[in-house]
Every structure is written in structure tokens, then in C-alpha cells.
Structure 1
Amino acid sequence: MTSKIIFFFIGAFGFQSINAQLNQDSSEKWNLHFQVTGISQSHSGFNAKYSGPNSLISSRENGKLSLTSTLFTGLKLSARTAFYADMEIAGGQGLSAAKGIAGFTNGETFRIGTTAPVLYMARYYLKHVIPLGHTEYNQVESDQHQLASKIPDRRIEIMFGKGCLSDYFDLNSYSHDPRTQFMNWSLMSNAAWDYPADTRGYTKGLVLGLFLPLWELRFSSTMVPAKANGLKLDSKITKAHSEAIEYTRYFNTSKTTIVRLLAFRTNSQAPTYEYAIQQGLLGDTVPEQVISGQYEWKRYGGLKYGIAANMETKLIATIGYFAKASWNDGKSATWAFTEIDNSVSMGVLIEGTNWKRKNDRLGFAIVSNGISSDHQLYLKNGNLGFMIGDGNLNYRRESILESFYSAKLNQFLAASLDYQYVVNPGYNKDRGRVHVWAIRGHIAL
């Protein structure tokens, strides 16, 4: 496996010189990009009255490393159609095997299925663009999932294949990418959106987009996992599927103030928390095993729906502000993302221009996560989800403060220091508080 990683690095650097020549043209036939991100995290010891199978380990943990590396490829098939495919290697582990905190502290760990590095196909999809009338064409530069070309500002986009919904929905310039910005799961996306994805964060389906100069509308219909937080997607697409629709509004032509409104609905095999509690009292533990991701039971009817809002604005040229809020009904079990039923967050991102380091970034954010009354009772009874479960619950909202500094060391390499302070991990006042430190390295070509 080590040889595969070395080949990945050598290949990416070798292709970069070819790709640089292509970038001189206004339109590319194909491109190649590459990224690698390594994150090492540690947390302090803390007081815990009790611990369960899914608890954050209360003793100090040091140097838990995650590694992801991705080769992004794009190929132009026609004037309006392109094919994108990504190969990815991921390995390592999060603190306490990525359990015990609903707003987990390392956003890269959701791409990791095993501790040993594994090579897999992350994305493969077709993208077709249909220009609309009275349109203007704007040049876009070569990037990940984007060929350098002129694109119409009035258009329809159709994407079909395997990808990650967070590439298209719930975007935010200041809080969306754990490789370069805030690392916490509940800051990189609207946390109560249990967005459909396998263990690594990917799904298959259709995404449609309508783009106009001051607003956008997106719709998706995609597959969901066959079991909670599972790697296999459910093939019974008439019974198991997820839809999302999002409206984006730009409040000025420079697009410095943006509001996004999202609604979502998911059908899956997820039992309700109420049913799992009732069956548990009768001695039937299968519903809990389904909720905790241990078992696939081929029963459908699970329904989860919710809404989310997401805004960003530039306070001044070098300081950006964001705020997010999301909610789901909290009746059926969490199935894919993380065990959060409602969440609010806000923060700022400050450019290094203010201290003569124009490519550096300094960020501060806070987030408060909660769960439904059904979800609370389920955990109070000693049951497990796929991420949290302490054997008991003294419920309080889970609150997290995160700050980071990212230094751009050269054209390709950035290094970050990150600190997170977690209050009531897993919504439990009887455990914590926890200090989490991280070092992050990121290469992008």
C-alpha cells in the first residue's frame, strides 16, 4: 500500500507540469489536480461519571492521524459535456474511532473506512450544461471538478453518477472544507442535514441545477446506505432514496452576501427511536442493532425530513462572516451523516492581509448541537447510535468552540494549527469538558 501512495504523489507532480501548459488556454480538453491532507489530533483527559461503547475515551489520546489523498481528473467530451472521475486513498483513524462527539472534531475521518490506507474510486459522473437565452459567458479557471472554459451565466446543469452532495449543496465560502477551513463536522455542513452518503461520504444519483445571475436552484435525488453509516448503498431505490432542494440568492452582483435555503427528505430502513425503545422493553434488540449500524434488516418506511439555512457575507474586504441553522424531525434514526437533530453555528474568517500574510487565514467559530426528545430517551435508556451512546444520558446541548490558523508555506503547501473546546460531548453533562488540539498539512496542485 505504501508503494501506491508514493506512486500517487509522483504521478500528481508529474502531471502538474502538463496541466500548467493546458491552463494557458481559455478552454481545456482535460485536466488533472491533486490534494493530500494529513491531520493529527489529540485530546485532554477529562472527568466522566461513566462510559459506554460509543463514548469518547476519557483518558488522554495523542496523535490520532487521518490521511486522505485524491487525484481529480476531468475530460471534455463535447462543447457542453464533461466527465469527471476521482481516485482517492484514505486511511487512519479519528479520536476514539470517531465516536463520542456528535459534532466530531475531524471532518476528514468520515472518508475513512479502515485504519490501513485503501485506494478506491471516489467520484465518477457526467456533467452536461445547457445554455439559456440572453446569456453571457464568463471564464472559469481550471480546478478540481472544473475544466477551464467559458460558462454561461444563465444555464441548466445536469450531473449524473457517483459524487458527494456537499460538492453542490450547502456551500459556504468560509465554513465548508475541513481540509483548509474549520475541521468540525457540524461546521463543515449544516449538521442536522443527514445528507445521503456511504461511510466515505459518497452516493449515486442525479443533481439538477438552474443558474441565473442573482439566484440558483438545485435539486437532487440520490441513493442512501443499506444500513446506518454503511458502505453499501441500498439498491431498492423505489423504497430507499433521498431528495434535496436548495435555493441560493445573491444580494449583489459581486456575490459578497449570499443566503441559501435547503429542504430535504429521506426514505430508508431507519427505525424510529420510539419503536426501538418499545421493542427493547420486550427484549428485541434488533432495532437498536439497526440504528447503531450493526445490522441490515430489509424493512422500509423510515422517514426523515428537515430544513436548513446558510448565509455568508463579507464584513469588510478581508473579513468574512457566516451563520448556519438546521433542523430535522428527529423521529427516525440518523442514517448517514451524524447524530444531530438541530444545530446553530456562526463564525468569522480573517485573511492574513491584515498582518502582511495575505494567503494565511485565521478562523473563529461556535456551534451548538441538539437532539430530539425521542433521541434523548433512546440514549437515556442505554441504547447506541452509530456515533454516540454512553450507556446513560444527562442531557445538555453539545457546544463547541473552534479556532484555527492556516499558514500558506508555498504555492502548494499549507500548515494549520487547530483548537477545539467541546462542552457536553455526546450531549452528556456527566462527561467532559474536552480540549482538542490538531496539526494539519494540506497540499493542493
Structure 2
Amino acid sequence: MADDVNYFVPQLLGAQYTFITQIQNSLHSPYAGPLSLEPGGDHARSHTFGVYFGVPLTPRLSGYVDVEMFRGEGISHSTGLAGLTNGDVIRGGGGSLGRGAYVARAFLTYDIPLGDKTTTVKRKLDQLPGEQADDRLSFKLGLMAVNDDFDQSRYANSTRTQFMNWSLFNSPAWDFAADTRGYTVGGLVTYVTGPWTWRYGIYQMPTQANGPDLEGGIDRAKGQNAQVTWQHDPKSASVWLLAFCNKARMGIYDNALLRAEETGSVPDIRADDQDGRHKFGAAAGIDVPIADDGDTGLFGRVAWNDGRTESFAFTEADRSASIGGQLAGTQWQRPRDRVAIAFAVNGLSPEHRNYLAAGGSGFTLGDGRLNYGTEQIGEAYYEFSVTSFAFVTADIQLIHNPGYNTDRGPARVVGLRVHLEY
């Protein structure tokens, strides 16, 4: 950090407003359940607001506070899909959560330089400007979003400026710790040496699937993530591998099915919730810059979890893969414009699909029955730069087998996004 820094003086690091409107077509639907994608079509809008602050406390210690607000909802109240179409909404349309401003992040960072070489970093959300050691040991503690630090992609990581579908801004089968809004409390250790970046984080899990409250003691319930990333320099290709293990009050799909058979009832995974249950899995990804200083490039992700216990925090997927690319508008004299296309496939474990086929429901899925097939998603968008701080995006998504059900669909969703940022 620079010598002329005013310590204990808060800095405004950024602000943003994002408006998204989406229209879903009517779809083939011989039957529907409590959490099905609307068969007659739907139209929904969402608004998010955010202001982001940082304060340097010492040359190595910094604090950050982000305040956000969400209004509106997603199509079908953000249910009926694993790959929900609007990543800016809260699952289930927000439920009973308040619509006022809330603290999204509030955390401290502490950096220990491990060498003399530094790089100048610019102001951005959750990053103070200054000099950062290339080799370092860093600590982060507080209220945060796990996916700020793991499963990152240059081309598919922000629903406010890139792909909107949940299957494309993160790996759906990576069931990372989060409350309904997508945040949790925990700690992160990062070790950077040469081209290698090693991360380990431990976080609180919600008290129930997609729940707004977090468990208390970290020994009672926790989500653990470890990731290694290799990247020669900031403009070169990057490859990463992630492993995770969650411990929480979760249900087991086979137990819920067995109980339903014994009682002649519809299976309910929540009725089988018990402390100390585990879910584990892994994910991997690659970014390949091609041209335009890396603004044109390709990306890919794959992920898997054991699928034995219920989907708990992100979305209902046990296997996932995606591939896509981004093209900068340099070739047509619009260097800040972007056009991109990507494809994603989501799948379920045998236990999960049997549970849904028997009429069970999760927190985003529940057609009443299921003729299983992988959920297949294609998305394309054009982002038009109006000014350096205003962007308008036209988006289209095509979804085969919504909610993994070959009896329903396909679904088509067209969208318009307006994004303002400082």
C-alpha cells in the first residue's frame, strides 16, 4: 500500500445498479408440481443496488463493507430449474426476506509480503488501490461470499456484466456455503508464490437448505473449500482445481424415499434432516485468453458432488459442465462491447433423481414426478457499452429438459439488462 495512504479514512470503492427484465415463453407441460417452471410463460423484473467501501487500517490490514438492496423477482419465482435464468435474484424470489438495504459483506484482510516484487492494483469492488506483493500470504475474515475467491473465471463470473444463467457464473454442482442471499461468515487463507495460488476457506452453513440463517458454531456445521490455481501471468491461460466438503443438518435422499414407502406418503427430504451429515465434491476450470489483451477468450468448467445428501446452498445439481467464449468488439471498432455464447449441462445423482421422480421437492425443483434427462442450457448475449459506466445487454437463453424433466419444455427466455457502475 502506498506511503501517502490516509489510514482509518473510508474510501468509496464503487457503486452499481443493475436492472434485468426477462420473458419466458409458454412450454409443453403435461403436468406440473409446486416448484415447476411456469407452463404458461412468465415475465419478471429485478433491480439490485450496491455501494462498496474500503478503509486502510495499517499498511497490511484493511476493512471492507458492502451494502446492497434487491427488489423484484425471477421468472417462476426462481424455481423450476437448476440453471436459473437470472443470477441477480435471490432463490425463491426472496421469500420472506426484507427488501430494504442490507450489509452483504463486512470483512478484514491482512497481507504478509513474501518478497520485494510488487504490482500496482487499481480501485475496484473489495480492493483498495495501492501496491500488492506478488508473493504473499493473505488472510480474510468476516461476512463474505465464498464465490468471490473460488471458481473464478474471467469470462463467466458476473451475472451483472456477463452470462446471467446460474450454470455459467459458477459451477452448479459446487454446493458452496451461503445463506439465501448468497453470503456467509468465515475465514480464508491465500498463499501466492510464482504462478501458483493456493486457497483454503472454512465457512458457516445455513441451518436449512436455502435458509436465511447460519448455524452458530463452526464445529456443528461448516463448508470447507480448497483450490489451487496455476497462471503464468495475469494475461495468460489459467487452470484451477477445487475440492469441497460440507457438514450440515442435511437429509439423505434414500432415507426420505424409504420413509415414504413405509408410510405411503410423498418423500420429504427435510423430514430426514440430521446434524453431522456430509456432502463432498470437486470442480475444475480453465480460461484461455486468445486476443485483445485477453478480452477475447474461451472458458470451461466441470464439477461433481456425491449427490447422496440434499442440495443445500447453491442450486440442485450433482454434475455440471460448461463451455463458452467471449469476443471483444475491437474488430468492429467497439472495443468495450462484448458478444458471448456458452453451453451448459447439469445432471443429478441416481438418488436425487429417484427422489424427484417419486414426487419429492427440493428448494428449486419439484414437478411432482420426473422423466429424467440432463438439463441443457444455451445462452448468448451482446453487451453494448453506452459510456464507460453504462451498459445495455440483450440476452437469450434456450433450456431443454427444464428441471431435468424430458416431459417438459423446451423453455426460451429473452432478457434485457441495464447496468450502471462507478
The question of 1:277 aligning with 2:257 is answered yes
Alignment gaps of 5+ in structure 2: none
Match of 2:103 in 1: 121
Q: Distance in 2 between the 1:121 and 1:253 partners?
A: 34
**Contact 1:69 1:90 (C-alpha < 8 Å) held by counterparts:** yes
Q: Which of residues 257, 272, 287 is equivalent to 1:312? A: 287
Match of 1:10 in 2: none
Q: Which amino acid aligns with 2:41?
A: R
Match of 1:427 in 2: 404
> How big is the shift at 1:299?
2.4
**Contact 2:267 2:360 (C-alpha < 8 Å) held by counterparts:** no
C-alpha offsets along residues 189-246 of structure 1, whole Å, 9 cap, x if unaligned? 0110001000000000111100123110000000000011000001142121010000
SS in 2 for 1:192: coil
Q: Which of residues 231, 237, 260 is equivalent to 2:240? A: 260
Match of 2:79 in 1: 99
Normalized against structure 1, the TM-score is what? Answer: 0.90
The question of 1:321 aligning with 2:290 is answered no
- Of all paired residues, the percent bearing the same amino acid is 35
Q: Distance in 1 between the 2:386 and 2:6 partners?
A: 29
> How big is the shift at 1:284?
8.6
Q: Which amino acid aligns with 1:336?
A: A
**Contact 2:141 2:187 (C-alpha < 8 Å) held by counterparts:** yes
**Contact 1:42 1:60 (C-alpha < 8 Å) held by counterparts:** yes
SS in 2 for 1:85: strand
**Contact 1:271 1:287 (C-alpha < 8 Å) held by counterparts:** no
Q: Distance in 1 between the 2:48 and 2:269 partners?
A: 30
Match of 1:367 in 2: 344
Q: Distance in 1 between the 2:3 and 2:136 partners?
A: 23
Q: Which amino acid aligns with 1:61?
A: D
Q: Distance in 2 between the 1:334 and 1:281 partners?
A: 22
**Contact 1:26 1:139 (C-alpha < 8 Å) held by counterparts:** no
Q: Which amino acid aligns with 2:77?
A: A
Two-structure CA RMSD over aligned residues (Å) = 1.9
> How big is the shift at 1:361?
0.5
**Contact 1:40 1:439 (C-alpha < 8 Å) held by counterparts:** yes
C-alpha offsets along residues 91-110 of structure 1, whole Å, 9 cap, x if unaligned? 21111100001111110113
Q: Distance in 2 between the 1:121 and 1:284 partners?
A: 45
Q: Which of residues 312, 317, 324 is equivalent to 1:335? A: 312
Q: Which amino acid aligns with 1:66?
A: S
The question of 1:108 aligning with 2:85 is answered no
**Contact 1:422 1:432 (C-alpha < 8 Å) held by counterparts:** yes
Q: How many residues align?
A: 415
Q: Distance in 2 between the 1:204 and 1:441 partners?
A: 31
Q: Which amino acid aligns with 1:306?
A: G
SS in 2 for 1:383: coil
Q: Distance in 1 between the 2:350 and 2:279 partners?
A: 15
The question of 1:244 aligning with 2:225 is answered yes
SS in 2 for 1:378: helix
Q: Which amino acid aligns with 2:94?
A: G
SS in 1 for 2:101: strand
Q: Distance in 2 between the 1:189 and 1:27 partners?
A: 35
**Contact 2:267 2:358 (C-alpha < 8 Å) held by counterparts:** no
Normalized against structure 2, the TM-score is what? Answer: 0.95
**Contact 2:267 2:355 (C-alpha < 8 Å) held by counterparts:** no
C-alpha offsets along residues 93-137 of structure 1, whole Å, 9 cap, x if unaligned? 1111000011111101137625873211111000000111x3301
Q: Which of residues 13, 27, 32 is equivalent to 1:51? A: 32
Q: Distance in 2 between the 1:352 and 1:229 partners?
A: 39
Match of 2:165 in 1: 184
SS in 2 for 1:109: coil
**Contact 2:266 2:358 (C-alpha < 8 Å) held by counterparts:** no
Match of 1:207 in 2: 188
Match of 2:54 in 1: 74
Q: Distance in 2 between the 1:218 and 1:93 partners?
A: 34
Q: Distance in 2 between the 1:25 and 1:363 partners?
A: 41
Alignment gaps of 5+ in structure 1: 1-23
Match of 2:153 in 1: 172
